[in-house]
A and B are shown apart, each in its own frame.
Chain A
């Protein structure tokens, strides 16, 4: 049976439709797409990563910081199997792989990494999980920079790309990249909706709110958490493959702690547990990041991002996306207090229970 249309559904539809229209208008009509296209590619990658991270942190309440480690490792795998080689070495053609197969392999590797990370840790409580996973990007960097075949410090280049050689840095190439970015975000949104809005999401939210209740009603907690971790890791792996597909290679900078902080700031500022929060947070933080990147003192961008992160954490309970609801709650409380003060204290007779 078709669900009735509500204001919330209409607002949701308006948000997503409006966002899509805004992206198309900005790309084709407002900005120079040679500049905007590059920013949009980064936005697409970050927004997609954040949607998957939101599933793990927001829906499941698993404080995982393994995101960058999984994306980076899968980007390396994609680059390696599709012909990437260390800068200066000419191995072009020694290995080559169709870009679709490269993406599938990256997704499979992401799921595999997710299983390896989750196996010893999925039973851990919140902060233990955060403690274990916060260093994984550094571990991945340490492992990769030992390997000659992964390009050591220089990374890999010359891997399979979405664009043909003659399309790179052209109008056509930028348009293709733009629509690939839109497709990636859309795919991640569909996965987010299917998991968050489906049975698994319901189970995970129950576990997040109360493990005792979840156990009591027979939820297999470990299985549910394991499932969401594997699903999100597989998609994060796919995003790693997209990273390689966009840039034709990857380097160790992908594992930078700053990247992890930036991504984390995005989901926190936007608002946990909401796809809209992931998108709004990504757009806002990326805007600050790009705006200050060209300034003489780029350190200011991180200071502003830190201040924003700090202010949102102290001032809001559900990030920017939850501010309207927070204001509504505050107004309701204010009106209730005002109404009760206008009524004045109850008369003594009213306090007496009838019949006593």
Chain B
């Protein structure tokens, strides 16, 4: 039971990161490797809010989400807009986003120093029992809030005008352009939303990933694993993949050792890609490539 709770907890949070990466790829054809530094920026944003504005959990969450969204906007202005439509766009955008990551990480070093900061328990320290399993407020709060946010994102994608534009871009970029959907405006929306999602995930994981300059690398890897396993561009695939990744992590740390987590997760990806190069989305849609 403890494993199930841990699985759902991790899946919910990794799903937020993976969906951001997947959405950016599907809508813009942009593999944003600066997503890790966005995560770190949001953590620092939440910590700064706690230290300088208010230690009320809602305000700390808001601080993280706003800084995450702003970091997404910076990625849009500095990487996407200057390179969009230029030769060799897919590779150059990867390079520029990695360049931005380097600049971001070491700017954090200069501004905040190498020491890790700490953020309070945002859902309190209470515990309750469910079917003989003790569940902390932190885990239950993360599971509920991450799922609520994920549902809100899906609803916004389905119902809002911007969501309609984003979906049109993911399905047929040329068609979307023909009916007047602005790729650049959509890019702002997509990158700010994925940054905000990374920010929300960062605050939820702030008891595991503390604010420090290099902290974004592992969450970026987890997000990439979810996006890759899910099949880039598929929200449904990303959700299923997040469950698989969270499950693998919980089972590995319970039966083997936490040190083996990345090994088993990459093993899982290798197996899935051998069978279906398009990941879980390929399995859901019954396609191979």
Q: Which residues from chain A sit less than 8 Å from chain B, CB to CB?
A: 63, 119-121, 123-124, 126-128, 130-132, 134-136, 138-139, 142-143, 145-146, 257, 261, 264-265, 268, 272, 297, 299-300, 302-303, 305-307, 309-310, 313-314, 317
Contact = CB atoms under 8 A, between A and B. Distances in A.
A314 B259 contact: no
B29 to A, nearest CB: 9
A120 B102 contact: no
Nearest to A315: B82
B105 interface: yes
Interface in B95-145: 95-96, 98-103, 105-107, 109-110
A124 B277 contact: yes
Contacts of B100: 306, 310
Contacts of B109: 299
27 contacts: A63-B91, A119-B274, A120-B274, A127-B94, A128-B228, A128-B277, A131-B232, A132-B270, A135-B221, A135-B224, A142-B259, A142-B262, A143-B260, A145-B259, A146-B257, A261-B102, A268-B95, A272-B91, A299-B110, A302-B105, A306-B99, A307-B99, A309-B99, A313-B92, A313-B95, A317-B87, A317-B88
Interface residues of B, number: 49
Contact of A139 (B91, B102, B232, B266): B266
Contact of B90 (A126, A146, A264): A126
B31 A127 contact: yes
B273 A132 contact: yes
A191 B179 CA distance: 51
Nearest to A257: B217
Interface of B: 25, 31, 33, 78, 82-83, 86-88, 90-92, 94-96, 98-103, 105-107, 109-110, 214, 217-218, 221, 224-225, 227-228, 232, 257, 259-263, 266, 269-271, 273-274, 277, 289
The 3 closest A-B pairs by CB, nearest first: A306-B102, A309-B99, A306-B103
Contacts of B261: 142
Contacts of A265: 98-99, 102
Contact of A303 (B78, B102, B227, B289): B102
B280 to A, nearest CB: 13
B252 to A, nearest CB: 11
Nearest to B223: A131
B25 A127 contact: yes
Contacts of A310: 78, 96, 99-100, 103
Contacts of B33: 134
A124 B98 contact: no
A307 B103 contact: yes
A303 B262 contact: no
A302 B102 contact: yes
A134 B259 CA distance: 18
A272 B94 CA distance: 14
- Chain A CB count within 10 A is highest, among B78, B94, B95, for B95
Contact of A131 (B102, B228, B271): B228
A303 B99 contact: no
Nearest to A138: B262
Given A126-B90, A139-B266, A146 B106 contact: no
A300 B111 CA distance: 12
Contacts of B274: 119-120
A317 B86 CA distance: 9
A209 to B, nearest CB: 12
A131 B224 CA distance: 6
Given A130-B94, A139-B266, A313-B95, 14 more contacts: A120-B273, A131-B228, A134-B221, A135-B225, A142-B259, A146-B259, A261-B98, A265-B102, A297-B110, A302-B106, A303-B103, A305-B102, A306-B100, A309-B99
A310 B77 CA distance: 13
Nearest to A318: B88
B259 to A, nearest CB: 5
A142 B264 CA distance: 10
A63 B94 contact: yes
A305 B100 CA distance: 10
Given A265-B99, A313-B92, A314-B96, A134 B224 contact: yes
A303 B78 CA distance: 15
B266 A136 contact: yes
Contact of A300 (B25, B106, B266): B106
A135 B101 CA distance: 16
A47 to B, nearest CB: 19
